[in-house]
Amino acid sequence: MSGKSRRPAPLADGYISRSPDGSFRGAGGSVGLNETIGGTNLQALNVGGDFGWGGDAGLYGARANATLAGVSNDPAKAGESGFWGGVRTFDAGAGAYWDSENGMGELGYRADLVSGEVGYREVNGDSGADRGGRVGGSVGVPSGGVRVYNQDADGDGRNEYGLGLSLPVPGTPFGLSGDYTTETPIGDAVTIGLPAMLGLGPLGLVANEGMEAMGLEDYAPATLVQNGAESLWDTASSWFD
């Protein structure tokens, strides 16, 4: 699947969101550099925000940000596996929104002098068990937030579900963050999360990724559990049809 990219926009940009019948559903704008090319976003001296309740922009809620400089990459936006992370300086913002176009929502705020994340995200249309993870840290005013994901970045008909958290370290100016996405959420919870809670560390993740790397994805523990859970759900749902 080829990645999406857009042509450079002027340093001042804005939009109005409307419903199919033309009624007003929100608006947004920014001043400064804020460009997304493929999966990479560049910002410099940028201040922006938007709000909406549906419409062609797909935004429900509101968000705002101000960034002195930053660069970040999300492979899901380019439709290709790769590095997931970035770095920013003098970055502040807040949001309470669901962005249906990008399949992501957030509730939280940040006021960081410096922040960054590093990780890897699988985006493969030939696989039904893509995963992604990143971890990060920040220095600044203690901030926090929660992020949720529901995307089909590779167009294979299986959504990537995920959760992200940003938490302040009590009594310090530092913060920690982490995000995880997967196409097999139930399978991962049982075969990766449960062993980790039992003190077995990343054993489940190694087992799943190892079998998938050998071309045995259909027999990986997470896939078997996920398929079983989905079959049970389909059977139960058919009783009420």
Nearest to 23 by CA among 54, 50, 49: 54
123 with 63, same domain: the answer is: yes
131 with 190, same domain: the answer is: no
In sequence order, the β-bridge partners of residue 78 are none
Amino acid at 155: G
pLDDT digits over 22-31, tens only? 999 999 999 9
Domain assignment present for residue 221? The answer is: yes
Nearest to 182 by CA among 204, 206, 160: 160
Amino acid at 54: G
Interhelix angle 221-238/203-213, nearest 10 degrees: 90
Domain assignment present for residue 7? The answer is: no
Q: How many structural domains are present in the chain?
A: 2
Q: How far is CA 116 from the centre of its chain?
A: 15
- pTM listed for this prediction: 0.89
158 with 190, same domain: the answer is: no
74 with 134, same domain: the answer is: yes
72 with 165, same domain: the answer is: yes
How is 80-142 classified by DSSP, letter by letter?
S-EE-EEEEEEEEEEEEEEETTTTEEEEEEEEEEEEEEEEEE---TT-S--EEEEEEEEEEEE
In contact, 182 and 190? CB cutoff 8 Å: no
Domain region containing 202: 185-230
Q: Would you write out the chain's pLDDT as a tens digit for each of its 241 residues?
A: 333 434 445 688 899 999 999 999 999 999 999 988 989 999 999 999 999 999 999 999 999 999 999 999 999 988 899 999 999 999 999 999 999 998 999 999 999 999 999 999 999 988 989 999 999 999 999 889 999 999 998 888 899 999 999 999 999 999 999 999 999 999 999 999 999 999 988 999 999 999 998 999 999 999 999 999 999 988 988 888 6
- b/e string for 77-104 if b means 16 or more Cβ within 10 A? bbbbbbbbbbebebbbbbbebbbeebbb
Kindly report the backbone phi and psi dihedral angles of residue 10, in degrees, each rounded to the nearest multiple of 5, phi listed first: -65, 170
Domain assignment present for residue 3? The answer is: no
